[in-house]
Amino acid sequence: MTSLTEAYIDSLAPNAGAMKNGRDLVKKNSFPVLRITADGTLLFGECKGSGKEPYRCSVDFVQPDSPLSRCSCPSRQFPCKHTLGLMYAYALGKPFEQAEVPPDIAEKREKADKREEKKKEAETAEANGEAPVKRKVNKSALTKKMNAQLEGLSLLEKLVLQTVQAGLGGLNKKSVQLIEEQAKEMGNYYIPGVQAELKGLLLLLEEEGNREAVYSQAIEQLIRLHSLVKKGRSYLEQRLADPEMPMDTETTLEELLGHAWQLAELKEYGRIRQSSELLQLSFLSYTDQAKGEYVDAGWWVNLQDGTIHATRNLRPFRAAKAIKEEDTVHAVVQTEELFQYPGEVNARVRWEKGTFRDASGLDYKAAKAFATASFPDVVKQVKNVIKNPLADRNPVMLIAFHSLEKVGDSFVFKDVQGKPLPINTEMIETPAKVETILPLLQADDLQDQAALVMFRHDVESGRLTAQPMSIITDSRVIRLLY
Amino acid sequence: MSVNVLLDLQQEVRRLFVTGSALAEGDLRLSKLLPSLRKAGEAAPVFIRLADSAEALLTAPRTESASKLLELATLLSAILHTQGKTDVSGEQQPLEALGIGLSTDITYRRLHPLLEALTTKGSGRLEQLRQAYEGRSYLDLRALPALCRALDDVYAEIPDFLQQKLIPEFGTAAVPVLRSQLDLQGGKGDARRLQLLHSSLGEESLELVSEAGSSGSPELKVAAIGLLSGYDGQEPFLLEQSREKRKEVREAAYFALSQIASLPSQDRLFEAVKSKDGELVVDPIRKCKALDLHKRIIDHADIQLDRYLNNEGKDKSNALQQLHIDLRCLNGNGHALANEAFPLLGKLLATDEFITAESEAVQELAAELLLELNAEPADRFAIGLHSAYKGKFIGYSFRAAYRQLSKAELYDRYADAIKGRSASAKLLQAALQEVAHGQLADEDYDSAAAVPVDAWDPRWAKTLAAQDLIELVCMFTHKEEREVTTYLLSKLKDGSRVNDYRTQNVLLTLFRIGYKEAPELFMSLLENKSSRSFYYIDWRMKLLFSSMPKSYVPRLRAFTEVLTYAAVKNELLEIVEAMEALPDEPAGESGKGVWAWIKNKMY
């Protein structure tokens, strides 16, 4: 808490706007009252708002690694700009007056302590062999739900077959509108994932411009939908026949159908890894139009075994303001429990409690050591993944390259054996263009380093290319995205 | 594996997807592929599956065609995804790394808004750049290309800001990027790139700049010429460029030549003054340090005056035009040229035949220049213009007299002329105002309303009051004087609005001269119902507030509390509170402390 830095406060802020607003409050001298307790665990004060009464805000550092913000303002952003401003004021060295803990906060602290105790009791009870209350599944409700899901899949199948039978060339505004209505209807069958895939097709069809490219993508999407119907149906029918059967945790099928995995479920299925260390290699925030959400995606290397994990922080458009926007993480994250979602490559992970430590040269070296040295091996691995129509079409891999060369206007990686891997610079849309950054690097950075790359198979040209996301050297990560 | 068969099959499948699977039954082109699929199947069984699947499609009834096509496509797609090619054709050469050692450590939430601002259109982008500049969140390798690219932005303030603040911070790291983006045939953005390259490379960039100057697009030429003027040996090139077809290029060359100021440059500039480029060289010549050039222009102007006086028609008007340009070239260097210019200007203004309606602009210019000489003989001559030409130059006469005469002499000489509504009286009033305003400009707000006491004859206030020149009266009143005070009070009657700046000026004057009723007058005007709505307040109002004695604070507070507009109310309440906080002072002394406090808040 004494080492409260601006960068740390930035990391607490829900978005860039909140950081700026918080700082502006300090600049505008909006805190007539700034106080701190003698033990330094509580900052509190008053902040002028637009109303008559000032907002009373406080930040509690009783648990130093997870400060708790409280404010009397009605903002849904958390922490709000007032509590952020309070912390900035402290970090920027504004004078704080020493004072006692106000009674309302003291009361809240007490309650929190009690809650903590209860939780502990429950945990010890569990450790002593008392089985935790197992979640009960309402079987008849589940059956009903799965029947509805099957019905939804049939609806989709009919739609796909109709579209294929009539041909993409014959689609007009009216028929696209019809599909749109069906997509909406799909919302009634507990398969939001399927609905999103259908919307993905719609977005393609509504696209203006290069018809030929659209056709190729639309065909791929139709194949994907068709496979989803078939796989989804056989899976659901199996589970319907045997309700005791566990959920599929090997593939992303459940997620594709639209299941939102809860941490408790993942725990139940044993998808937890104890004490892991993760280093973020790349970060990107993008918009998923089909699902109607912003996605803050991170790609991480597990420093124990080199697995490339992905994190996805989803912010649906409707609630985007109230959800924290994730940011680039430079530190190594240490987690006691790493929850791992089902999936083949780049399985999604999450953690509830993580601590940070500064990344060092050792970590970069460790990450680099996990990179695959032979391009043919990586390519084989990638092809094995993408041949499945339901798989992630853009696997992300860590490769070791010997050199980065230029071919005409484009680039190519070479491995130690001189085997090429063509570089694609247009797969991921970012304002900072990869092709403009690569030539700026130092010669050392382009020689015998590792790169995190995303693959894509282009159906039209039949080529497999990779876009570099980051270059990992012995001393740093050069982030080409964020 | 026979990849070609696969590609052919892919073509057909794709075609059927576009035309619709309903037409697939017995499709000729697809069935033609069957034999080669079967043949390939002898080597790789997966082709047999493809052939079976294709056959199933060919023989399926319409209703089942779609699912058959999808099955075939799924299988084919899976196979093709394992056949993705990664070979590279074409010459491969090592990537020449430019070796910029910048980090890529700025996080997404700080870098992304900056990149968005640099690569999109729309409002709020400059603000975003300012923030990035303040937070230093732009010193990142990934931002550099976009920053340099945004020099082409059409919203000029963005490239301005980038050129002046952000890009120079990168130092030489920006050079390779700027160099690779530079297009010598480009537009304004490329001119900026050239300037930035020059400022970080200095003489090293001379070759590039010369190239831009000789073969670049006009924008680049202009920029290059500006940069080249600082180097020896560029004169021949600049002389050549001063004869370029494009006006902008010539102008830049003239500016560059005026900086060099060598004899050939002077010759060229003098030549240009006489040519159709006269207008264009006025500014460059004004900036030229070599006054020999200006002396030549004075001689030239003298000849033009004679030409004007001795000719008729076109020749006459041409001479006048040239005279106008010549005189304008002298602006800014008046004092240094006093000896040479005075004879010309004296002759010009003393020649009755020259004082005509068509030459009015030149006369004014000459009179203004006369004062600019700032020399005694010139001023004496100007004073002598007092009543010449029906008082046409009385304003200039007065301004010269202010410099040369004592304050009493000045008053005695001009007090009568200022009376009335004649043209010359108005000119004199304007001149008085101009001189007085010039004295106010240097002062701070608090004494803004008055000219210095010892600079003027005390009789002015009364004289001006008699002429109902309220603004001047406010400026010239320093002490209570019955006539003047009565006049000022007369201005406050009949419902003057307190938030009118004229009313406020009168009140401020009354406060300044220590008129006893001033606080009450102000208070009653404030409390007058008609002046309740304030949309804003300026420094005058704040000064008035802080001029009030402390005994009025309760009434001021009562007034402020009921104001409608919150912003105004809060601002005034702050002042009232500051006044309340002050210790009790002897009457008349109040206000100073509060005013200092307010000023402190204003800047």
pLDDT reading at B232 higher than 80: no
Residues B158 and B51 in one domain: no
pLDDT reading at B591 higher than 60: no
Q: Which amino acid is at B328?
A: R
Domain count across chain A = 4
Distances (CA, A) of A302 to A279, A356, B208, B583: 7, 14, 50, 69
Using the CB atoms, write b or e for B378-407: b if 16+ within 10 Å.
Answer: bbebbbebbeeeebbbbbbbbbbbbeebee
- Residue A191 near residue B45, CB atoms below 8 Å: no
Residues A215 and A299 in one domain: no
Distances (CA, A) of B276 to A201, B26, B182, B270, B281: 68, 84, 35, 12, 10
Residues A143 and A96 in one domain: no
Residues B585 and B464 in one domain: no
Residues A231 and A327 in one domain: no
Q: Searching chain B, which residue's CA lies closest to the CA of residue A480?
A: B142
Whether the CB of A20 is below 8 Å from some CB of chain B: the reply is yes
Q: Searching chain B, which residue's CA lies closest to the CA of residue A389?
A: B78
For residue A337, what are the domain limits?
271-360
Residues A373 and A355 in one domain: no
What is the ipTM metric for this complex? 0.83
Residues A467 and A375 in one domain: yes
Using CB atoms, pick whichever of B7, B20, B85 lies closest to residue A464: B85
CA atoms within 13 A on the CB side of B18: 14
- C-beta atoms of B100 and A167 within 8 A: no
pLDDT of residue A129: 64
Residues A195 and A216 in one domain: yes
Q: Is residue A11 part of a domain?
A: yes
Residues B518 and B562 in one domain: no
Q: Is residue A416 part of a domain?
A: yes
Domain count across chain B = 4
Identify all chain A residues contacting B118, using CB atoms and an 8 Å cutoff.
431
pLDDT reading at B537 higher than 80: no
Among B258-262, B447-451, B488-492, the minimum mean pLDDT is found in B447-451
Residues A152, A158: Cα–Cα separation, whole Å: 10
Contacts of A181 (CB under 8 A, 6+ apart): none
Q: Is residue A132 part of a domain?
A: no
Residues B18 and B139 in one domain: no
Is the link from the previous residue into B458 a cis peptide, with omega within 30 of 0? Answer: no
CATH number at residue A396: 2.40.50
Own/partner pairs, A443-448, CB within 8 angstroms, 24+ separation = A443/B97, A443/B99, A444/A473, A445/A471, A445/A473, A445/A478, A445/B97, A446/A403, A446/A404, A446/A471, A446/B95, A446/B97, A447/A402, A447/A403, A448/A400, A448/A401, A448/A402, A448/A403
pLDDT of residue A225: 92
User: Which of A440, A449, A463 is the mutation pick for testing B, counting most B CBs within 10 A?
Assistant: A440
Three-class DSSP category at A34: strand
pLDDT of residue A467: 92
Q: Is residue B192 part of a domain?
A: yes
Using CB atoms, pick whichever of B18, B65, B116 lies closest to residue A165: B65
Tokens for A387? 């041949």
A window 444-473, beta carbon within 8 A of B: 445-446, 457-459, 462-465
Instruction: State the nearest Cα–Cα gap between B83 and chain A, in angstroms.
Output: 7
Identify all chain A residues contacting B102, using CB atoms and an 8 Å cutoff.
440
- Residue A218 near residue A224, CB atoms below 8 Å: no
Which residue, of A360, A381, A404, is where some domain finishes? A360
Q: Is residue A131 part of a domain?
A: no
pLDDT, tens digit (0-9, with 9 covering 90-100), for B272-328:
777 888 777 888 888 887 777 788 888 888 888 788 778 777 887 887 788 888 878
Which residue, of A203, A222, A241, is where some domain finishes? A241
Contacts of B481 (CB under 8 A, 6+ apart): B461, B462
Residues B568, B551: Cα–Cα separation, whole Å: 22
Q: Is residue B322 part of a domain?
A: no
Residues B158, B326: Cα–Cα separation, whole Å: 39
Residues B254 and B138 in one domain: yes
Q: Is residue A126 part of a domain?
A: no
pLDDT of residue B304: 80
Residues B398, B403: Cα–Cα separation, whole Å: 9
Residues B513, B493: Cα–Cα separation, whole Å: 19
Contacts of B248 (CB under 8 A, 6+ apart): B218, B219, B222
Residues B224, A25: Cα–Cα separation, whole Å: 46
Which residue, of B224, B244, B264, is where some domain finishes? B264
Residues A335 and A431 in one domain: no
Instruction: State the nearest Cα–Cα gap between A363 and chain B, in angstroms.
Output: 16
- C-beta atoms of A219 and B104 within 8 A: no
- DSSP β-bridge partners for residue A457: A464
For residue B32, what are the domain limits?
3-80
Q: Is residue A226 part of a domain?
A: yes
DSSP letter (8 states) at residue A134: P
Residues B226 and B162 in one domain: yes
DSSP characters for A188-233?
GTT-HHHHHHHHHHHHHHH--S-HHHHHHHHHHHHHHHHHHHHHHH
Residues A275, A303: Cα–Cα separation, whole Å: 11
- Residue A411 near residue A467, CB atoms below 8 Å: no
Instruction: State the nearest Cα–Cα gap between B22 and chain A, in angstroms.
Output: 5
Residues B256, B274: Cα–Cα separation, whole Å: 19
- Residue B396 near residue B371, CB atoms below 8 Å: yes
Nearest by Cα to A373 from A457, A465, A477, A448: A448
Residues A86 and A185 in one domain: no
Residues B153 and B237 in one domain: yes
pTM of the model: 0.73
pLDDT of residue B588: 46
Crossing angle (nearest 10°) for helices A192-206 and A173-185: 170
Q: Report the percentage of chain B scoring pLDDT > 70.
A: 94
DSSP letter (8 states) at residue A372: B
Q: Searching chain B, which residue's CA lies closest to the CA of residue A7?
A: B107
**E-state strands within B394-512:** none
Q: Is residue A430 part of a domain?
A: yes
Nearest by Cα to B463 from B439, B489, B487, B431: B487
DSSP letter (8 states) at residue A136: P
Q: Is residue B584 part of a domain?
A: yes
Whether the CB of A281 is below 8 Å from some CB of chain B: the reply is no
A window 213-252, beta carbon within 8 A of B: 215-216, 218-220, 222-223, 226-227
pLDDT, tens digit (0-9, with 9 covering 90-100), for B330-370:
887 777 777 777 888 888 788 877 777 787 888 888 888 88
Nearest by Cα to A199 from A181, A219, A215: A181
Three-class DSSP category at B437: helix
Q: Is residue A125 part of a domain?
A: no
pLDDT of residue A396: 93
DSSP characters for A91-115?
HTT---EE-PPPHHHHHHHHHHHHH
- DSSP β-bridge partners for residue A337: A274
Q: Searching chain B, which residue's CA lies closest to the CA of residue A220?
A: B77
Q: Which amino acid is at A296?
A: D
DSSP characters for A47-104?
E--SSSSPEEEEEE-SSTTS-EEEESS---SSS-HHHHHHHHHHHTT---EE-PPPHH
The tokens 């082709």 sit on which residue? Answer: B47
pLDDT of residue B589: 47
Residues B109, A328: Cα–Cα separation, whole Å: 8
Q: Is residue B468 part of a domain?
A: yes
Residues B262, B84: Cα–Cα separation, whole Å: 71
Helix, strand, coil percentages in chain B from 3-state DSSP, rounded to 5? 70, 0, 30
Residues A382 and A349 in one domain: no
Which residue, of B38, B63, B80, is where some domain finishes? B80
Report residue B131's pLDDT band, with 50, 70 and 90 as the boundaries: confident
Q: Is residue B320 part of a domain?
A: no
pLDDT of residue A308: 93
Which residue, of B489, B505, B524, is where some domain finishes? B524
Distances (CA, A) of B149 to A161, A184, A442, B213, B406: 49, 43, 21, 22, 63
Q: Is residue B332 part of a domain?
A: no
Residues B144 and B217 in one domain: yes
Q: Searching chain A, which residue's CA lies closest to the CA of residue B113?
A: A16
pLDDT, tens digit (0-9, with 9 covering 90-100), for B398-443:
888 888 888 888 888 888 888 878 888 888 888 888 888 877 765 5
Average of per-residue pLDDT across B155-182: 87
Please provide the size of chain A in residues. 482
Instruction: State the nearest Cα–Cα gap between B70 and chain A, in angstroms.
Output: 6
HEC string of B73-128 equals HHHHHHHHHCCCECCCCCCEEECCCCCCCCCCCCCHHHHHHHHHHHHCCCCCHHHH
pLDDT, tens digit (0-9, with 9 covering 90-100), for B27-80:
888 888 888 888 888 888 888 888 888 888 888 888 888 888 999 999 999 988
Residues A429, A206: Cα–Cα separation, whole Å: 20
Using CB atoms, pick whichever of A161, A166, A384 lies closest to residue B67: A161
Crossing angle (nearest 10°) for helices B108-119 and B125-135: 140
Which residue, of A222, A241, A260, is where some domain finishes? A241
Q: Searching chain A, which residue's CA lies closest to the CA of residue B72?
A: A223
The DSSP H or E segment spanning A396 is strand A396-407
Three-class DSSP category at B447: coil
How do beta strands A463-472 and A447-458 pair? antiparallel
Residues B162 and B222 in one domain: yes
Looking at every residue in chain B, the average pLDDT score rounds to 81
Tokens for A170? 């014959």
Residues A234 and A289 in one domain: no
- Residue B60 near residue A439, CB atoms below 8 Å: no
Could you state, in chain order, the average pLDDT of each consecutive group of 10 residues for chain A (482 residues)? Answer: 76 85 88 86 86 86 83 87 91 86 86 86 73 68 88 90 86 85 88 89 81 85 92 90 82 86 86 90 91 92 92 89 86 90 89 86 92 91 90 91 88 90 87 86 89 91 91 91 89
